[in-house]
Structure 1
Amino acid sequence: MPTDNTVDIDPKNHIASVVKATRILESFDPESPELSIQELVKRCGYTRTTTYRILDTLELVGWIERTSAGGYKMTLRVFELASRVLGSFDLRTEASHVMSDLAARYDENVYLVVPDGTRAVCLDLIESSRPVRVMSLSVGRSLPLFIGGAPLALLAELEDTFLPRVLAGGPLTSPSGQEVSEQQLRRILADTRARGYAVSMEDVTPGVAALGACIFDRSGRPVAALSFGGFVANFAQPRQSELAGALVEGALTISRRLGYQGGE
């Protein structure tokens, strides 16, 4: 239950109604899974009219529902969201040993990336020991799904669902200025699936290359991607094939730990 309702809100950067809605959601706890509007007014300190309007909006979008007793409680949508977050933590835990092993063996940046709409977000990263940093993606930052090793690996497996949304976002232009047509992107995705991993050569940052391989959960759904990133010179053949083999094996190991049964 929230204990402090005083929050410094900058009208230029913060939306007060969102903060208030969050406070109301945080009022529910294991001891009070159902609350009346009077109890919520008391806990949050908002007027009855404001509290009712927020509750009505939360009910409209499916986060809150009314009970037979006339009170309010959170819906399973809140649980579903929490489950996604917990799943991310499980993923990070299961991936950590594999990432550490790959970083130690090959001394390249190793990334763990998850899909987020039409972008891919870096969940974890182990940097190489090289004094010159080549990172194009740091923890919490994201890239479009149509560029980079890990994003392309994800898009190749999620093409039917996400490619139309990617294409609807406008011209496919990378941060390095490269433009990719729909036909080229579809060919890249097909090659990625056939190969079993994605190859990214300087499409994000000049002089930097990356490889990406998908991670699957127990239902066979692509939930993340493992990636190597480093200087282009370090990704020439035959080392590229060696890195790719280790990456695919590492991604499969993590998938197995998540309950995946495929990939025989």
Structure 2
Amino acid sequence: MDSTSTKLGASAVQSIDRAADILRAVSKHSATGAKLADVVGETGLTRATAHRLLQALVATRLLEQDTVASRYFLGVWLIHLSEQASERFGLERLTLQSRARLSERTGDTIFLTTRIGASMICSARTEGSFPVKVLTLEVGSTRPLGVGAGGLAIMAFLSEAEQKLVLKACADQYSRFNLDRDRVAALCAEARKHGYSIDRNIVLPGVTGVGIPLRGPDGEIVASLSIAAISERMTEDRIEEVGALLKEEAETLAALMKSTDHRTGTLG
């Protein structure tokens, strides 16, 4: 590869990284929409660069713009891509009954998150019956791996080499979620010890989440299931109980995925 190709490659990677940062920033304001100032503040980009990339993402339908309120929202096309990503192994469909059982047994909100490189995207959400609902993630929103119970569940059970790559790639993003590389590494170690991840009031004060990784037919980690509830409900005993329920469903899903042709969604 010549020097010109190398430079072009580096430029393309930088643009993709910046676009991903913008999508994450906008996803944090999914309910009210993100202003240009919000994106600039959370990404560190200049106003001109942020505005240019925002317009490019709007043009590709990954974002939508309310021109009257001057706010940006996740686009319908991004949600479509999320659905397609989850269908890599038929995850949204295959986990439907597991999510329903978990929400019925716990009363809390269940999240399915799918891994995309060093990031994760919320692919599905099942709300429980408990009056106080914790809706920490919108379907289609993204976060770096290691953030929240779902992202931590995926990252904690990757190989040591993969973890190092993710920590390096996401290091600059963790501060937005009250984390840093050392804290994420420590939480990964705790998750491996328990067999499930725990987020105690980190990303969102007053909310505790518990997560478990999901493995594809070849054993690779492709997603996670997590449960979020107000911290008052998540005593240590209940965390253990929830962790056990998640492990049970993860084992059920692992067996189901092995017997399912993920390309067609049919039992083999």
SS of 1:13's equivalent in the other structure is helix
TM-score (norm 2): 0.61
Deviation string 1:68-108 (CA, Å, 9 cap, x unpaired) is: xxxxxxxxxxxxxxx966424x1111100011011011101
SS in structure 1 opposite 2:139? coil
- Quick one: distance in 1 between partners of 2:157 and 2:197? 11
Q: Greater shift after overlay, 126-135 or 206-215?
A: 126-135
**% identical equivalent positions:** 24
- 1:127: Cα distance to partner? 1.2
Partner in structure 2 of residue 29 of structure 1: none
Q: CA deviation at 1:203?
A: 1.2
Residue aligning to 1:57: none
Q: Which protein has the larger Cα radius of gyration, Structure 1 or Structure 2?
A: 1
More helix per residue? 2
C-alpha RMSD of matched pairs (Å): 2.9
Question: Which residue type is aligned with residue 13 of structure 1?
Answer: Q
Cα shift at 1:251: 1.4
Q: Hey, what's the Cα distance between the residues in 1 that align with 2:253 and 2:230?
A: 25
Q: CA deviation at 1:135?
A: 1.3
Pair 170,181 (structure 1): closer, same or farther in 2 beyond 3 Å: closer
User: Equivalent residue for 1:148?
Assistant: 148
Distance 1:18 1:129 in 2: 38
User: Structure 1 unaligned runs (5+)?
Assistant: 1-9, 20-82
- Amino acid across the alignment from 2:112: L
Matched, 1:161 2:158: no
Aligned-pair CA distance for 1:231:
0.4
Q: CA deviation at 1:18?
A: 7.3
Q: TM-score, normalised by structure 1?
A: 0.62
Change (3 A) 1:170 1:130: same
Match of 2:128 in 1: 128
Amino acid at match of 2:128: S
The answer (yes or no) to whether the contact 2:174–2:181 under 8 Å persists in 1 is: no
The aligned amino acid for 1:246 is L
Matches within 5 A, 1:127-206: 127-158=127-158, 159-171=160-172, 173-175=174-176, 178-182=178-182, 184-206=183-205
Matched position secondary structure for 2:236: coil
> 2:146 is paired with a residue of what secondary structure?
coil
**C-alpha displacement of 1:110:** 0.5
Structure 1, residues 33-79: CA drift from partner, whole Å, max 9, x if none? xxxxxxxxxxxxxxxxxxxxxxxxxxxxxxxxxxxxxxxxxxxxxxx
Alignment match, 2:92 = 92
Determine if contact 1:213/1:247 at 8 Å carries over to the other structure: yes
Note closer, same or farther for the CA distance 1:107–1:179 as it changes in structure 2 (3 Å cut): same
Aligned residues: 186
C-alpha separation between the residues in 2 aligned to 1:116 and 1:133?
A: 27
1:259 Cα deviation (Å)?
0.6
CA contact (8 A) 2:214 2:222 kept: yes
Please, which of 9, 13, 21 is the counterpart of residue 55 of structure 2?
13
Give distance in 1, aligned partners of 2:60 and 2:147: 33
Q: For 2:175 and 2:93, how far apart are their aligned partners in 1?
A: 31
Aligned equivalents of 2:224, 2:60: Cα separation in 1: 32
Instruction: Give the corresponding residue for 1:101.
Output: 101
Q: CA deviation at 1:252?
A: 1.4
Aligned 8 A contact 2:102 2:245 in 1: yes
Q: 1:147, 1:174 within 8 Å by CA — same for their partners in 2?
A: no
CA-CA distance at 1:200 after TM superposition: 0.5
**Contact 2:115/2:121 (<8 A) preserved:** yes
Aligned counterparts of 2:230 and 2:120: Cα–Cα separation in 1: 21
Deviation at 1:122, TM superposition (A): 0.8
- Tell me, yes or no, if the aligned pair for 2:92 and 2:124 is still in contact at 8 Å: yes
Q: Match of 1:235? A: 234
Equivalent residues of 1:207, 1:232 under 8 A apart: yes
Letter in 1 for 2:121: V
| Alignment check: 8 A CA contact 2:171 2:180 kept | no
In the alignment, is the contact (CA less than 8 A) between 2:108 and 2:133 conserved in 1?
no
How far apart in 2 are the matches of 1:146 and 1:11? 26
Q: What is the CA–CA distance in structure 1 between the aligned matches of 2:212 and 2:56, rounded to whole Å? A: 38
Match of 2:161, SS?
Answer: helix
